[in-house]
Structure 1
Amino acid sequence: MHFPLYFLWKTCFLIIMLDLCAVMASAPGEKAGGEKNASFS
């Protein structure tokens, strides 16, 4: 039964992808208005 391990790997992969997407989305905003993003995160 390797399902739990596969599920864990899938979850970690999704979290990493979401994290990368968040960084990519916040990168332009940081240049324009860093104060807004700083207080948001």
Structure 2
Amino acid sequence: MGRLLIAEQWLFELTASILCISSVAEVTESGEVYESEVVSEPE
């Protein structure tokens, strides 16, 4: 029972990490797109 609890806690932390990383990646991607648009406008 103790192992199951630890496994659930680990899975929860892993899922939270993935969600956090994916949300950060989305912000980074949108930021890069915004920067590239701003850079290409003066041309």
TM-score, scaled relative to structure 1: 0.70
Choose which of 16, 19, 22 in structure 1 pairs with 2:21.
19
Unaligned runs of 5+ in 2: 37-43
Greater C-alpha radius of gyration: 2
CA RMSD for the aligned pairs?
1.4
2:19 is equivalent to residue 10 of structure 1: no
TM-score, scaled relative to structure 2: 0.67
Provide runs of 4+ in structure 1 moved above 2 Å: 31-34
**RCO higher in structure (CA 8 A, sep ≥6):** 1
Percentage of matched positions with identical amino acids: 12
Unaligned runs of 5+ in 1: 35-41
> Which residue identity does 1:24 align to in structure 2?
E
2:34 is equivalent to residue 32 of structure 1: yes
SS at match of 1:7: helix
